[in-house]
């Protein structure tokens, strides 16, 4: 990082956001982690220890609310937690010179930070800057119930800047909530120490250690497995592709295992490996499914894959696709993802058609038990995967070009400078 810029970036940041492995949490965590490594004082407030920081050595100071004894028969305990964490943030604001409040997830965390700013302005004559970062579930899952509240928060005059992942997500937010103010793009940070291409020799050695041959065609799907991610469509695409591809195929699905989904798909448990990676088999002889559950080292499996597949109905960005591109893995994804422009620009994969739904309709469809198959151009996705399998050498070169694009476009230096623009 440029020395002059690094000096300018020495800010005092107070943040709060969800503690999951979801893309929004990982994205904000990475940015704060890197800013803290480059001179910023970063304090992050949570109800529980955030999962991201359990496996990343960080200089971010964590403040965990001790909520073990918070209970009330009169007031909802979550509401009490919100007040407690707000009070702790107010105390930190009072102790901090020119603090910047930065929150992701509108409810409750951005709302908590806005409440803290209001109180410190009224009671302590202190007015820190506030940046709020809406994520996908804020809009398609929460926003349809709290539409007026979302609009109030995003347009509040005490919110200094609103940022989010991508241009098309900004357009969706502004149209759905009738937002007049400017919203800025703050892309995710590429975690280059973890997500990078392996050599052919390294890939073969790692595959061998997992009992997989060099010629096995590996599809990877990394997701939280929420209904909006449509794991049943991923499975159908993989099964159809396996019928075309002559080599043995493996589908690795990483993320929380939705057991009800597995039962409905009639998959049989074949065996359980020593490291608790469950192996399910389909009725096809040349397709094996590894369903791993949550793994912190997702790159270990991603880096040995031949393609990344995503069938979500909506993604404000989709960090998993960026991580795949960074590992030189071509992506095959629905064309509704926020990273779509970058996939096309980097020639990093194929975006297959899916019906684009407005947020209210999206929420109804996601929670319906009806089949979602008609929303996807499954044949398009299958053909794209078959083409990747047909010429893996060309596909790898294609992937390496995308990896170089990600390393430049989503570098710490570039994203940090974007962040700096919104805090000054």
Q: What share of the chain is helix, strand, coil (3-state, %, to 5)?
A: 45, 20, 35
Confirm if 332 and 350 have CB atoms less than 8 A apart.
yes
Task: Give the gyration radius of the chain's Cα atoms.
Answer: 22
Sheet containing 268-272: give its strands across.
Answer: 268-272, 278-281, 287-293, 249-254, 217-222, 307-310, 331-334, 349-352
- The parts of the chain modelled with pLDDT lower than 70 are 1-9, 53-57, 67-75, 224, 257-281
Q: Give the pLDDT of residue 88.
A: 92
> How far is the CA of 372 from the CAs of 48, 129, 137, 157, 256, in angstroms?
35, 43, 19, 41, 21
What is the set of domains in the chain, with CATH numbers?
3-186 (3.40.50.2000), 200-409 (3.40.50.2000)
Q: Give the pLDDT of residue 58.
A: 75
Strands 129-133 and 99-104 come out as parallel
pLDDT in tens, 241-292: 999 998 899 999 888 766 666 666 666 666 555 455 566 667 778 888 888 8
* Distance between CA atoms of residues 326 and 191, nearest Å: 9
| One-character DSSP codes across 110-142 | IHHHHHHHHHHHHHH----EEEEE--HHIIIII
């Amino acid at each position: 990082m440029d020395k002059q810029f690094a000096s300018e970036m020495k800010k005092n940041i107070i943040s709060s956001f969800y503690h999951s492995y979801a893309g929004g949490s990982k994205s904000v965590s990475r940015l704060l982690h890197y800013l803290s490594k480059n001179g910023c004082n970063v304090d992050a407030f949570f109800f529980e220890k955030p999962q991201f920081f359990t496996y990343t050595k960080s200089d971010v100071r964590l403040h965990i609310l001790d909520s073990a004894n918070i209970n009330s028969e009169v007031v909802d305990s979550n509401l009490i937690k919100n007040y407690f964490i707000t009070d702790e943030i107010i105390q930190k604001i009072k102790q901090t010179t020119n603090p910047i409040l930065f929150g992701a997830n509108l409810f409750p965390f951005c709302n908590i930070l806005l409440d803290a700013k209001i109180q410190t302005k009224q009671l302590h004559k202190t007015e820190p800057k506030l940046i709020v970062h809406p994520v996908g579930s804020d809009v398609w899952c929460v926003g349809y119930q709290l539409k007026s509240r979302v609009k109030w928060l995003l347009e509040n005059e005490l919110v200094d800047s609103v940022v989010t992942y991508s241009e098309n997500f900004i357009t969706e937010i502004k149209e759905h909530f009738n937002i007049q103010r400017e919203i800025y793009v703050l892309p995710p940070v590429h975690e280059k120490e973890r997500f990078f291409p392996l050599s052919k020799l390294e890939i073969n050695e790692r595959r061998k250690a997992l009992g997989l041959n060099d010629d096995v065609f590996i599809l990877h799907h990394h997701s939280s497995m929420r209904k909006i991610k449509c794991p049943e469509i991923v499975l159908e695409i993989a099964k159809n592709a396996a019928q075309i591809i002559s080599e043995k195929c493996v589908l690795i699905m990483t993320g929380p295992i939705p057991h009800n989904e597995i039962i409905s798909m009639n998959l049989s448990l074949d065996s359980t490996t020593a490291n608790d990676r469950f192996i399910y088999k389909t009725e096809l002889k040349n397709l094996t499914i590894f369903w791993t559950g949550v793994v912190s080292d997702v790159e270990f499996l991603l880096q040995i894959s031949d393609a990344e597949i995503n069938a979500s109905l909506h993604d404000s960005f989709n960090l998993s696709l960026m991580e795949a591109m960074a590992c030189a893995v071509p992506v095959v994804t629905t064309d509704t993802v926020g990273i779509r422009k970058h996939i096309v620009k980097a020639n990093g994969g194929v975006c297959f058609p899916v019906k684009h739904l407005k947020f209210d309709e999206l929420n109804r469809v996601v929670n319906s038990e009806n089949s979602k198959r008609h929303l996807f151009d499954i044949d398009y996705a299958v053909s794209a995967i078959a083409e990747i399998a047909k010429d893996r050498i060309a596909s790898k070169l294609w992937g390496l070009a995308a990896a170089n694009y990600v390393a430049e476009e989503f570098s710490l230096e570039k994203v940090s400078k974007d962040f700096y623009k919104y805090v000054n």
